Amino acid sequence: MFIVPIDSIIGGSIGSVSSSLGGAAAAPESASATSTNSFKDTLQGLLDNVEKTEAQTKVDAYNLSIGNMDDPSTMMMNTAKAEVALQTMVQLRNKALDAYSSVMSTSL
């Protein structure tokens, strides 16, 4: 499992990051292509990443509990990845809420 660095998601489109994970070489994108990536798409990609890492952690925990896992260090690494992904998402949510509240408190 691979956690996509945030700067590669924000700098490029989610589709190009997904295709590069599949083994295909990602072509550099133009500035106009990166500007079409919306904030909603970026957050959705981060949420999908959190969901995937959490699901993998649950599968690993189940496999460990029934004795199907040969290498428990894999489970620990996937658990750490899921924790970092969740903490990153929570921090982004907090920053977005802080920005929203400061914009809303601005008097015209």
Distance CA 9, CA 32 (A): 15
Enter the pTM of the model.
Answer: 0.59
Q: What is the pLDDT of residue 70?
A: 86
Distance CA 48, CA 9 (A): 12
Which of these, 48, 49, 106, 55, lies nearest to 79 by C-alpha position?
A: 55
What are the two backbone dihedrals, phi and then psi, of residue 28, each rounded to the nearest 5 degrees?
Answer: -65, 140
Q: Under 8 Å CB-to-CB from 88, ≥6 apart: which residues? A: 6, 46
According to DSSP, residue 36 is labeled T
pLDDT digits (tens, 9 = 90+) for 29-74: 444 455 578 888 888 988 999 999 999 999 999 998 998 888 889 8
